Every structure is written in structure tokens, then in C-alpha cells.
Amino acid sequence: MFGRTLTLYFGAQFAKIVIAIIVGAGLLISAVVMIEFLNRALIGGGTIGLPLLLLVLFRVPGVLEDALPFAILYGSIAAFVVANRRLEVVVARAAGVSAIQFLIPACVVGLLIGLIGTTLYNPVAAELRAASDRMRAEALYGGGNKEAAPAPDAESGGGAVWVRQRLGDRQAIIGSTDSFDDGLGLLGVTVYVFGADGRFVERVDSPRGRFQPGEWRFEEASVTSADAAPRIDAMYVLPTNLSENEVKRAFLNVESVSFWGIPALIRSARLAGVPTERYEMHYHTLIARPVLLLAMVLIAASVSLRFSRSSDLGRMIIAGVAAGFMLYVVMKISLDLGRGGIVPPPLAAWLPAIIATLAGMTVLLHLEDG
């Protein structure tokens, strides 16, 4: 009975602190997103008020989902520090409880948060992200001044998606930093138009564009060519031979697709002969999330459970921040390799979680034996 009671107590205390850190991270993210969108709305002449507030509320869950592993890491560090301050770790060790046994409740909580985040939280966040993409186009670029092109969102990877099309005696390369309406609407558009002989004709920059059957329509487009003065077109129309499905698969923001809807999207892309690396990468990243959160708990334990012995809180915090930064670098490199098709997406998605788990367990076993 003592073991069960102790397990439930440690699990409950750990969950309370970690959830508190996640809520705090959500509030901080809300403030940052609000300031960012408010600044961009003022620059772009967009509307400010209830639409902008709803935009922020819809956008925050998706950003928080991306930050969840690091919220778990620092929340776990905080939980273990509190347990050390209360001498709970010392009492548990004196009662014959090993470090591994002490960590089992925390590991279970980490796995549960990961499972809930993937299966329940992600569909809600994806739906809200898709809605926020539509609202963002109106709230930030619905005013009269549309010259300020949007910067790439941090959560979308910060890179543009490019598509080449050829129609008649012209070809064009179309790039977009963000999209909405399942990829049919584009934000931050840059278009390079070339002649049949490959000669550069003109460049088009537009804050917003939309696909319609047989053509692209770009609003307030700045057109620059080699043999004419720059001009502003209220509506620049570019003919296209791309189909609606081809445009969706090219520009669709995969993070706005629910975890349960990605397999169908992958199958559809394969049937159409479209590369599926970025879809598969996102899908396997979501599947690997519970293991990644478990790894965060183990890494936090490896840098904070020694606090009762060393009494060096500053060094422990620095070690936790360093571990989080290193893991972030590994995750970004792995993500880029997987999206680019250089590394198989399953391997690229699971590798950071596996490496972090093995590293955390190795350090913990070494400390336990020592």
C-alpha cells in the first residue's frame, strides 16, 4: 500500500507542476504572439480588435504544441527541484526507493501527456491553426495598406514553398511563406516569370494571392522587370495549368491537418505521384512525441536529481538549458533532413527521441551505480 500511495503522490505532484509550467508557457506564448500580430497588423493596415484577439487565441495552441517538449523538460526540472527542496527524494531513497522507481510516476505522466497531445490535443490545435490561417489573411491584410509582406511564421519552419509551372510560351516559379484555405490562398508571395527561352521577364511580389481555376490572382502586386519601371498592379493575373489538387498538395500547411487525417493525405499524395516526405515527417513526429516527452523527463532527472547532493542550483539550471538547446538543434537538423528526403522520415522523426531517451537513461544508471 505504501508503494502505491507513494507512486500516486509523486505522480500527482509531478503532474501539477508540469501542467502549471505548460499553462505558464501558453500565457507567455499568447503575449508574444499578440505583440507580433499587433505589430504586423499596424504595419499592414489590418484590423485591430476582436478579430485579432480571436486570431491569437486560435494560433496559440499550435505554437504551444511545438513548444511542448521543452515545456515538459523545464517543468520536469522544476518538479524535481521542488521534490529535492522538500527532501522527498532523500526520504524516498532512505526508504529504499531507487531513482528508477522514483521516476516511474513522472515517466508515466510524460507518456500520458504525449499520448493525449498527439491523439486529442493535436486535432483541436490543427483545426484552430487552419481557422487562424484564414483569419490571419483578413485581420492582418484586410486593410488598405497591403505593401507589407508577412514574415514567415516561426512555427511553420521559416521557409518558403516553391512551385514551378509552365504554360504556353512562359514559365514561372511561385513561392509563398505561408498559406491558408488548404493551400489555395497564399501569403508573402514571390513570383519569377521567365520566357520560353528561359530569359527573365519580371518579378512579382504580393502580400496575398489566391488560386482560381486556370489562373493565379495576386493583390497589390509589385512588378519589377529588366526593361521597364517598377509598377504596382491592384490585381496581377497569372495564367496557370496547375489543378486545384496539385496546388493544395504543394502549398498545404501540413501542420493544419489533424493527426488522424494525415494518413489519408499521404495515400492521396502517393496516388498522385507527389512527394510525401513532409507529410510522413510530420506524421511520424507526432507518433514519436510520447517517447520524446519521456526522454525530456529522463534528461531533466539526469541534471536535477543530483541537486540534493551538490546543492548547486545554478549549475543544474544551466545544464538543463544546455540540454534543451542541444536537443533543439538535433531536432531541427533531423527535421530538415527528413523533409528534404535525405533521411527516411521515420528515422528522422524517431532518432532525436531515441537518442535523448538513451542518453537520459545512461546518465541516470551511472548516477545510480555511483
CA atoms within 13 A on the CB side of 103: 23
Largest CA distance in the chain: 85
Query: Comparing 146-155, 320-329, 348-357, which segment has the lowest mean pLDDT?
Result: 146-155
CA atoms within 13 A on the CB side of 142: 12
pTM to 2 decimal places: 0.77
Quick one: average pLDDT of 140-156?
43
Residue 192 neighbours by CB under 8 Å, 6+ apart? 172, 173, 200, 203
Query: pLDDT: is 334 or 42 the higher one?
Result: 334
Integer CA distances (angstroms), 348 to 105, 121, 343, in order: 29, 23, 6
Specify whether the CB–CB gap between 54 and 135 falls below 8 A.
yes
Residue pointed to by grid coordinates 508573402: 188
Q: How many whole angstroms separate alpha carbon 220 and alpha carbon 208?
A: 8
> What is residue 293's predicted lDDT score, i.e. its pLDDT?
92
Q: How many whole angstroms separate alpha carbon 323 and alpha carbon 229?
A: 53
> What is residue 148's predicted lDDT score, i.e. its pLDDT?
38
Tally DSSP H helices, then E strands, for the chain: 12, 6
Integer CA distances (angstroms), 106 to 229, 343, 355, in order: 65, 32, 19
pLDDT at 326 over 80: yes
Quick one: average pLDDT of 85-105?
76
pLDDT, one tens digit per residue, over 37-60 is 777 666 655 556 677 778 788 888
Residue 5's pLDDT band, with cuts at 50, 70 and 90, is: confident
Residue 92's SS3 state is: helix
Q: How many whole angstroms separate alpha carbon 61 and alpha carbon 228?
A: 46
Q: What is the DSSP string of 204-240?
A: EEEEEEEEETTEEEEEEEEEEETTEEEEEEEEEEEE-
Residue pointed to by grid coordinates 516527452: 293
Residue 313's pLDDT band, with cuts at 50, 70 and 90, is: low
Q: How many whole angstroms separate alpha carbon 129 and alpha carbon 138?
A: 14
As to burial, measured by CB atoms within 10 angstroms (0-12 exposed, 13-18 middle, 19+ buried), residue 172 is buried
> What is residue 312's predicted lDDT score, i.e. its pLDDT?
62
Q: How many whole angstroms separate alpha carbon 343 and alpha carbon 361?
A: 26
Q: How many whole angstroms separate alpha carbon 97 and alpha carbon 242?
A: 64
Share of the chain above pLDDT 90, in %: 16
Buried b (16+ CB within 10 A) or exposed e, 204-216: bbbbbbbbeeeeb
Q: How many whole angstroms separate alpha carbon 189 and alpha carbon 353?
A: 35
> What is residue 134's predicted lDDT score, i.e. its pLDDT?
74
Most confident of 76-80, 118-122, 172-176, 230-234: 118-122
pLDDT, one tens digit per residue, over 230-259 is 889 889 999 888 888 778 777 887 888 889
> What is residue 300's predicted lDDT score, i.e. its pLDDT?
87
Specify whether the CB–CB gap between 333 and 157 falls below 8 A.
no
Specify whether the CB–CB gap between 18 and 109 falls below 8 A.
yes
pLDDT at 156 over 90: no
pLDDT, one tens digit per residue, over 200-221 is 888 999 888 889 888 899 988 9
